[in-house]
Amino acid sequence: MDAPRLNRKLVLESSERVPDGAGGFVQSWIAQGTLWAQITAGAGAERAGADAQLSRTRLRIILRAAPHDAPSRPRPDQRFREGIRVFRILSVAESDADTRYLICQAEEEIAS
């Protein structure tokens, strides 16, 4: 594997339940840190939503590896953010036996 171009600055976010003040909870996203990555677009699809057309694109995101217990290692219940763009993490795997990089399969959904 050639060394990837880690030229995209992504914020890794985790979901957290926060009290809403009325006895319930709301979902909030908390930044865990910033990671540099390479993003490659894959297949996309479009479907009708309740109020808009939804465009969904699969992405391959490569970043430096981190140990399994490190907070900087992405997990499928997290997401990446780049400005207003959000990439939901679907899976995380090592790129090779040397474990220098991780490959994340992610999805971006845009309503239009």
Mean pLDDT by 10 residues, the chain (112 residues): 88 92 90 96 73 82 92 94 94 87 92 64
What count of residues does the chain have?
A: 112
- Tell me, yes or no, whether 80 lies in a domain: yes
CATH at residue 18: 2.40.10.270
| CA–CA gap between residue 13 and residue 34 (Å, rounded) | 9
In a domain, 2, yes or no: no
In this structure, is residue 27 part of a structural domain?
A: yes
Residue 3 belongs to a domain? no
pLDDT of residue 40: 94
Please state the domain count of the chain.
1
Domain that holds residue 80: 8-111
Residue 2, pLDDT score: 77
